[in-house]
């Protein structure tokens, strides 16, 4: 069972992903520029290689542990 707080963060990540992708933000670039050395290579590589739409890739990055800790 997913907690309400976690579900709200997932929905927020999807909403932000859709809104920011319309402005041309590339998820891997956003992760690299905002997290710098804190970004795990697996997340950056996954964001670049994932076949999901960019808005979903951005949402996944926003839900990553690195972004959740910041």
What are the pLDDT digits (tens) for 1-11?
568 888 888 88
Is 10 contained in some domain? no
| Residue 45 falls inside a structural domain | yes
Q: Domain of residue 44: give its range.
A: 38-70
24 occurs within a structural domain = no
Q: Is residue 4 part of a domain?
A: no
Instruction: Quick: pLDDT tens for 16-61.
Output: 877 776 666 677 777 778 888 887 877 777 666 777 777 777 777 7
- Please state the domain count of the chain: 1
Residue 53 confidence (pLDDT) = 77
Instruction: Give me the pLDDT at residue 23, please.
Output: 64
Pairwise CA distance, residues 46 & 39, whole Å: 12
Tokens of 19: 């809104």
Q: Is residue 47 part of a domain?
A: yes
Residue 48: inside a domain: yes
* 67 band by pLDDT with thresholds 50, 70 and 90: confident
Residue 20 lies in a domain: no
**pLDDT above 80 for 69:** no
């Amino acid at each position: 069972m997913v907690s309400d707080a976690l579900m709200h963060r997932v929905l927020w990540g999807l909403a932000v992903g859709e809104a920011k992708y319309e402005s041309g933000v590339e998820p891997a670039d956003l992760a690299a520029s905002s997290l710098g050395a804190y970004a795990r290579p697996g997340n950056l590589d996954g964001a670049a290689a994932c076949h999901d739409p960019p808005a979903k890739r951005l949402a996944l990055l926003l839900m990553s542990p690195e972004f959740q800790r910041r």
